[in-house]
Amino acid sequence: MNALVPLPVLLPLCVTGLKLAIGPRLQRFQRFITLAVLGAVLVLSVLLMVAADRHGPLSVHLGDFPPPVGITLVADRLAGLMLTVSSAVTLLVNLYSLGQGMADRDDQTPVGVFHPAYLILVAGVSCTFLSGDLVNLYVGFEIMLVASFVLLTIGGTATRIRAGSTYVIISLFSSVLFLVAIAMTYSVAGTVNFAQLAGRLQEVPVGVRTLLEAMLLTVFAIKAAVFPLAAWLPDSYPTAPAPVTAVFAGLLTKVGVYSMLRTQTLLFPGHRLGDLLMLAALASMVIGILGAVAQTDLKRVLSFTLISHIGYMVFGIALAGRGSIAGAIVYVAHHITVQTTLFLVAGLIERRDGTTELTRLGGLAKTAPLLAVLFFVPAMNLAGIPPFSGFIGKLGLMRAGVDNGGGWAWALVAGSAATSLLTLYVMAKVWNLAFWRDAPPGAEGEGRVLESAEDEPGDDGDGDGGDGEDSAATGSGSGLPEPAGAVVSAGFLGQSITTTRRLPWPMVVATGAAVALGLLYTVLGGPLTTFTEAAATELLARTPYIEAVLGR
């Protein structure tokens, strides 16, 4: 079973090479092999999760070189669960992207660029979840960065290039900081292997250990979009095509959360920065949700709720108890699925009505009841309404805070309750504006041409929409200026598309399957809670992980 550990990383990379060698030929075959390899990765992830639960952590040293020389990959309960959830989500998003690409009649570039970049992103995510050392974790981050820039800027529109450049600059800064932290760690411990560091860092002076912890936390907080290091996210994610935005929002920030979970429990037990993490968690929850309240574009609303709900996960990490860690793991799995689903629904709304600007939407509950259901279920799940999985995760975290009994813990309990209520308010606001009320006057109908900013009349070529007075980022042709904070809409490659009331069936099926996956967490709430409690116990014990890697 140990031999299966590298396959979730190697399979997508090998198929990427094959697809690039084939080029634009055999498009149906290329779509098939993409779905096939993502399905295989999902099966492998489930097998690794089950094996890790039954037999303990699985490890493999690539090239048969033992630490600290070789590359170590480890699959324990936490890594197995994260791999399984991420593989299921990436498979569904890929199916959604096939529907969008075919609807946009993108016959060349999506197969030639999007799918290889997407598979590289999947390989990078798998690499980070399985990494057994800091250097390999860094490599996983860089693989994701390269693929992310391609996906964010696909189509080459000015808005996407601008957003992608911001994302890359922030990511490069965090990468440099990560390299410095790795170099400092090696200089004081003589290794970067997690299992060896777990013992050696305890012999390092407290001040040096705290500095290393602070540097790594800063790197991972940037990746996870923890306040105050989250300002880049609302302007970067919403400009990309719906499948890209969905997988970024669902997965990439959780990679940072996973890295915080792994390093805080394994390398820095009894960490000295718990109070600082609690403050960051509280600020992320409250400020993020207040930002969502102020937005009028659905994609930006969801982007701010993403920042807010990262605070719940940091809440669990900061308390560092068995119950809080288990609650954080449940919430990570829940949020990956639900946040991805909501962005997929936003893509369907944009496909149907040509915009995600809430002031221009209305009447969808009557005219598109299936779309209303696809939004309502994950929206209530995100708000934590019983008995959904969001409620299970929040209940576990709040109970852990009450059991802790500290001042910061009680502040986090109060903040999480307030954030949950405000999330419900935000979701109700979206429901009332987009679904429940009548369509506003002048709403466009089927067949509307949806243009990117570069396609609009009067654009002077710099991507600013000409004089800024008569160009609408959504191409509505109404002559009205775009509302502040609105998101530029366009097709998969940034070109003009035509809205339709008959949504492409792969997009609808993929979104429905994502909704069902979120509901499955509720149905399997008991086994999921038992599994995450066992994972939390294993993380805090540290011994099973160390023995699996070092063989003692």
> What's 226-245 look like in SS3?
CCCCCCCHHHHCCCCCHHHH
pLDDT at 302: 93
User: What pLDDT sits at residue 279?
Assistant: 93
Instruction: Give tens-digit pLDDT for 141-178.
Output: 999 888 888 888 776 667 777 777 788 888 889 999 99
pLDDT at position 358 is: 87
Q: What is the CA 198 to chain-centroid distance, rounded? A: 28
Residue type, 163: A
CA dihedral 399, 401, 402, 408 (to 10 degrees): -160
Q: Which residue in this structure is represented by tokens 């915009």?
A: 355
| Cα distances (Å, whole numbers) of residue 5 to 49, 57, 152, 452, 521 | 10, 11, 29, 43, 25
Closest by CA to 283, choosing from 321, 338, 230, is 230
Indicate if the pLDDT at residue 28 is higher than 90: no
Q: What is the pLDDT at residue 493?
A: 55
Using CA atoms, how far apart are residues 114 and 36, in angstroms rounded to an integer?
Answer: 16
pLDDT at residue 89 above 90?
Answer: yes
Region of 320 please: left (phi>0), alpha (psi -120 to 50) or beta: left
Q: In the 8-state DSSP scheme, what is residue 108?
A: S
Higher pLDDT, 31 or 189: 189
CA atoms within 13 A on the CB side of 370: 11
**Under 8 Å between Cβ of 237 and 248:** yes
478 has a pLDDT exceeding 50: no
Average pLDDT estimate for 76-103: 87
pTM for the complete prediction?
0.88
- Number of domains the chain is built from: 1
* DSSP states of 511-524: HHHHHHHHHHHHHT
Average pLDDT of 201-229? 90
Distance, in Å, from the CA atom of 213 to the CA atom of 77, rounded to the nearest integer, reads: 24
Question: Is pLDDT above 80 for 362?
Answer: yes
Lowest mean pLDDT among 20-24, 36-40, 74-78, 522-526: 20-24
Chain centroid to CA 261: 16
> Per-residue pLDDT tens for 301-323?
999 999 999 999 999 999 888 99
The CA-CA-CA angle for residues 275, 277, 283, to 5°, reads 105
44 touches 52 (CB < 8 A):
no
Q: SS3 of 467, please?
A: coil
* 327 in Cβ contact with 396 (< 8 Å): yes
Task: Indicate whether 286 pLDDT > 50.
Answer: yes
**Do the domain assignments include residue 330?**
yes
Q: Please give the average per-residue pLDDT across 107-132, as a whole number.
A: 81
Mean pLDDT value across residues 342-359: 87
Q: Which domain holds residue 10?
A: 2-441+500-550
Q: Residues 513-537: what's their mean pLDDT?
A: 92
| 468 assigned to some structural domain | no
Q: What would the mean pLDDT of 184-196 be, rounded to a whole number? A: 91
What is the percent of the chain where pLDDT is above 70?
86
Report the range of poorest mean pLDDT among 262-271, 380-389, 439-448. 439-448
Residue 292 belongs to some domain of the structure: yes
The per-residue pLDDT for 484 is 44
pLDDT at 446 > cutoff 70? no
Tens digit of each residue's pLDDT (9 = 90 or more) over 480-511? 444 444 454 556 555 555 666 777 788 899 99
CB 304 within 8 A of CB 292: yes
- What are the backbone dihedrals phi and psi of residue 517, each rounded to the nearest 5 degrees, phi first? -65, -40
Per DSSP, what are the bridge partners of residue 498? Answer: 449
Q: What is the C-alpha separation between 279 and 285, in angstroms, rounded?
A: 10
Q: Of all residues in the chain, what percent are helix, strand and coil, respectively (each to 5)?
A: 70, 5, 25
Mapped to the 3 state alphabet, what secondary structure does 265-326 carry? HHCCCCCCCHHHHHHHHHHHHHHHHHHHHCCCEHHHHHHHHHHHHHHHHHHHHHHCCHHHHH
The verdict on residue 51 lying in a domain is yes
Q: Given this model, what pLDDT does residue 514 score? A: 94
Q: Which two tokens stand for residue 484?
A: 């502040």
Name 73's bridge partners.
Answer: 60, 131
Q: Is 313 exposed, middle or buried (0-12, 13-18, 19+ CB in 10 A)?
A: buried
Amino acid at 107: D
* Domain membership flag for residue 494: no
In a domain? residue 222? yes
Supply the pLDDT for residue 45: 94
- Residue 423 pLDDT level (bands cut at 50, 70, 90): very high
Task: Tell me what pLDDT residue 445 has.
Answer: 53
Using 50, 70 and 90 to split pLDDT, how confident is the model at 340?
Answer: very high
Instruction: Scan for tokens 């940037």, then name that residue.
Output: 222
Is residue 64 pLDDT above 50, yes or no?
Answer: yes
Going by pLDDT thresholds of 50, 70 and 90, the confidence category of residue 108 is very low
Does the residue 227 lie in any domain?
A: yes
Average pLDDT over all residues of the chain = 83
- Main-chain phi, psi angles of 63, to 5 degrees: 75, 5
Point out the least confidently predicted range of 75-79, 406-410, 459-463, 539-543: 459-463
The answer as to whether 477 is a domain residue is no
